[in-house]
Chain A
Amino acid sequence: MVADRGRNSSEGYVLIAPTLVVMGLALAAPLGLMAVTSLKNQSGLGFAEGWTLAQYGAALGRASYRALFLRSVLISSAVTAVTVALAYPMAYFVAFHARHKFFWLVALTIPFWTSYLLRVFAWKIILGFNGVINSGLMRLHLISHPLEFLLYNPFAVVVSLAHAWAAFAILPIYVSLEKIDRSLLEAASDLGDSALRRFLRITLPLSMPGVIGAAILIFVPTTGDFVTPALVGGTKGTMLANIIEVQFNGVGNWPLGAALSLVSMAMVGVIALLFVAAARAAAKAAR
């Protein structure tokens, strides 16, 4: 048929204008401002005159920042891997075996509409020295001293974040599994594949876009997470957002904070793009 019969475009532009303006104001301008700020030096409560790249020097140069950056990326990668790996069978179950998909999906998403702050806090309670797990295990006489490795370290951060981002893994994977034409699977069986082979050769590859989408969706924001490392990370589990926040609290170093923010966003963005490119290349090679 005739392609695309939309109406007069100008009305459309008018309709979308307010949203673009607000988002531009709230997003583009501030980010631009952040870029500008990162090129200044802090002086008392304001900025000194002139421009400088000193902040970037510090952000990229200091070993402690580099280590922190590495740790954040590693934690986020662990979170991404764990979350996606755990979510896949769950999404698979709902897509292929569940009778009442709608209810399963709602049930899976409900926990995520509750306060994130409180959920992390709940993990703190659960993992703590005198927390739920320890007191429960001691009560059951399974251990005699509380386990110390549960809280205030990267492990706690990974557990808490994996829990927090589960829904963001389930939904994209579910959608891509759901889209798989069932007749493809029947054809594979008809051509001699066992259930396992069929999964490996058809289902898994076809659901990859969903998996990769989920991975990016989780990886990028978790590198910048603040609440979880602050509540359950302790000193061993601090991440980027925590040192950035420090720069803006009280009399910190705003330009340095801005530079750190931009540098981390840029690096995370680059990693994400590399990951997507690698995934595409792997997919092509596998053909």
Chain B
Amino acid sequence: MKNRTLLFYAIAYLAFLYVPVLVLPVFSFNDSEFIAFPLSGFTLRWYQGLAADSAMQHALGNSLKVGVVTALLSTLLGLTAAKAVTRYRLKGAGVALGFISLPLFIPDIVLGISLLLLLGAANLPLSLAAVVLGHLLVCVPFALTVLIARFEGFDKNLEEASADLGENGWMTFWRVTFPLMAPGIIASLLLTFITSFDEFLVAYFLSGTEATLPIYIWGQLRFPERLPMVLALGAIILTVSVGLVVLAEYVRNRGVQKPMVGA
């Protein structure tokens, strides 16, 4: 039956998606420097090695700093733009949205390079702040999509009703808009954080001497003996990312009629 074939296909497809990802945890517990079959036994030494790796921890700290700042800023910018576009009649709203979404269609390398040029021309140093700017470019479109969907999902009249019942702009925002937008805001924060945290190429061009975690990992890939530790790190990142994404999807879909997935 067609149903059955499709089901098998779907499962096989899922396997295709997950298997490469599962390589990371599997070989991170493998007691061998070589990432190949046969498996050599269970060990935690790669994880223990991570605990002692100060360079890695420093890079992790940088990534967290950049990620948090990027998440907050891009969500804020996405929030104001989403409200403007969904609740007001703006001429050229389509053009503005298209412009803001443009980074999705431009290769990362071009984004990274052009910002590099900007910094050079303005005589600004390469730094984590520059990385944040680059990440904003990449993350604001995501934040915008999530937040626009959320704004469109709740009745425009609710804010008018609040005004009608005596609350001014600020109180209306606080008592009605914010609580209803909260799941969308949280989802946007989580997704932009993860995007920034995992972003490599733009950071590579802009970070200067301060490495973010992906840059650190990139540096390690040249050394075969360091690979299992990289896998261990990857396994940890994988678990945390997955946890955050599941959380984001769950939060985003609370209080919404039909679950929206993806963007």
A and B touch in the complex (CB under 8 A): yes
Interface residues of A in 107-134 (CB under 8 A from B): 107-111, 113-119, 121-123, 125-126, 128, 130-132, 134
Cβ of B14 to closest chain A Cβ, rounded Å: 7
Considering the chains assembled together, what is the distance between the CA atoms of A118 and B262 in angstroms?
21
Contacts of A31 in B (CB 8 A): 110, 114
Q: Are B118 and A167 in contact (CB under 8 A)?
A: no
Q: Which one of A23, A37, A114, A121 lies within 8 Å of B140 (CB-CB)?
A: A23
Judged by a CB distance under 8 angstroms, whether B100 is at the interface is yes
Judged by a CB distance under 8 angstroms, whether B88 is at the interface is yes
Judged by a CB distance under 8 angstroms, whether A177 is at the interface is no
Q: Are A12 and B90 in contact (CB under 8 A)?
A: yes
Interface residues of A in 1-50 (CB under 8 A from B): 4, 6-9, 11-13, 15-16, 18-20, 22-31, 33-34, 37
Judged by a CB distance under 8 angstroms, whether A237 is at the interface is no
Given A26-B133, A108-B14, also A130-B34 (CB < 8 A): yes
Q: Which one of B3, B6, B84, B200 lies within 8 Å of A117 (CB-CB)?
A: B200
Judged by a CB distance under 8 angstroms, whether A245 is at the interface is yes
Q: Are B99 and A20 in contact (CB under 8 A)?
A: yes
Q: Are B194 and A113 in contact (CB under 8 A)?
A: yes
Judged by a CB distance under 8 angstroms, whether B134 is at the interface is yes
Contacts of A20 in B (CB 8 A): 81, 96, 99-100
Interface residues of B in 209-225 (CB under 8 A from A): 214, 217-218, 221
Judged by a CB distance under 8 angstroms, whether B77 is at the interface is yes
Contacts of A215 in B (CB 8 A): none
> At the interface with chain B, which of A59-67, A88-96, A180-188?
A88-96
> At the interface with chain B, which of A150-158, A203-211, A225-233, A275-283?
A225-233
Q: Are B118 and A30 in contact (CB under 8 A)?
A: yes
Contacts of A130 in B (CB 8 A): 34-36
Question: How many residues in A have their beta carbons less than 8 Å from beta carbons of B?
Answer: 86
Using a CB–CB cutoff of 8 Å, the interface residues on chain B facing chain A are 2-3, 6-7, 9-10, 13-14, 16-18, 20-21, 23-24, 27, 34-38, 77-78, 80-81, 83-85, 87-91, 96, 99-100, 102-111, 113-118, 121, 133-134, 136-137, 140, 144, 191, 194, 198, 200-201, 205, 214, 217-218, 221, 227, 230-231, 234, 237-238, 241-242, 244-246, 249, 253, 259, 261-263
Pull 30 A–B residue pairs with CB atoms less than 8 Å apart, ordered by A: A12-B90, A16-B85, A16-B96, A18-B80, A27-B111, A28-B99, A34-B113, A34-B114, A93-B6, A94-B10, A105-B261, A106-B246, A113-B191, A113-B241, A113-B242, A115-B234, A115-B241, A116-B200, A117-B198, A118-B238, A122-B20, A126-B23, A128-B35, A130-B35, A132-B37, A135-B38, A139-B38, A166-B17, A224-B106, A248-B116
Q: 6 more A-B contacts (CB under 8 A) besides A27-B103, A131-B35? A: A19-B81, A30-B117, A31-B110, A34-B117, A115-B241, A118-B237
